[in-house]
A and B are shown apart, each in its own frame.
Chain A
Amino acid sequence: GDSVTQMEGPVTLSEEAFLTINCTYTATGYPSLFWYVQYPGEGLQLLLKATKADDKGSNKGFEATYRKETTSFHLEKGSVQVSDSAVYFCALSSIFGNEKLTFGTGTRLTIIP
């Protein structure tokens, strides 16, 4: 079945550091890929998405590129801020069967001033 493997956390970085959170997937067919973010006390919010190979999703300075050859969708940001502290979830939605989201385990990110 479909699965998402996500970089183990927690991750602690200093403000303005470069961020990478690794995500790889296993799926039948051609899934869509997502990054969701969960800020403290809030619900999951879509951060960015990509629906086909080589697409780059971007939002709020975050980027991720859909790499079919390596089945990866790594999240990157060039300069993190304290406000980026949250839990980040990589997810996929397969076009085969239903449209449920299959999530990774989440990566807790803490940014220190």
Chain B
Amino acid sequence: EAGVVQSPRYKIIEKKQPVAFWCNPISGHNTLYWYLQNLGQGPELLIRYENEEAVDDSQLPKDRFSAERLKGVDSTLKIQPAELGDSAVYLCASSTGLAHNEQFFGPGTRLTVL
């Protein structure tokens, strides 16, 4: 069974540029999460989807961040414009959505903003 796929694995951009990250969850997983992991910290939730609906985006900085999951499968997270402080690892995870069920994580995208 294929795991959660993310691309790109690494991205270097200059500040004020836009950037997008892509995630393909495990087949059949209805719930998709985007987490932000700063250096030396644990991941923090940005947004959670149940199918195509964003059910928790309370931690997403909506002035510059946006996300979509149009067909309830793949998802894209966008930052426009990027700031220096956005340098971090962006993790995508998926699960079946059942209570207490395991979340499966992708390898992440490491973003460096210069």
Contact = CB atoms under 8 A, between A and B. Distances in A.
A43 B100 contact: no
A45 B105 contact: yes
A106 B28 CA distance: 30
Interface in A71-113: 89, 91, 93, 95, 98-101, 103-106
Given A43-B106, A43-B108, A45-B105, A101 B99 contact: no
A36 B97 CA distance: 18
A45 B4 CA distance: 11
B106 A101 contact: no
Contact of B40 (A42, A103, A105): A105
Contacts of A64: none
Contact of B102 (A6, A49, A98): A49
Interface in B62-99: 91, 93, 95, 97, 99
In this complex, the interface size class of chain A, counting residues with CB under 8 Å from chain B, is 20 to 34
A100 B107 contact: no
A21 interface: no
A46 to B, nearest CB: 5
A49 B40 CA distance: 23
Contact of A100 (B3, B4, B56): B56
A51 B100 CA distance: 7
B40 A93 contact: no
A30 to B, nearest CB: 10
A43 B31 contact: no
B48 A103 contact: no
Given A32-B100, A100-B48, 8 more contacts: A4-B42, A43-B91, A51-B100, A99-B31, A99-B95, A101-B35, A101-B103, A106-B40
List of 8 A-B pairs having minimum Cβ-Cβ separation, nearest first = A103-B42, A44-B105, A32-B100, A100-B45, A43-B107, A43-B105, A98-B56, A51-B100
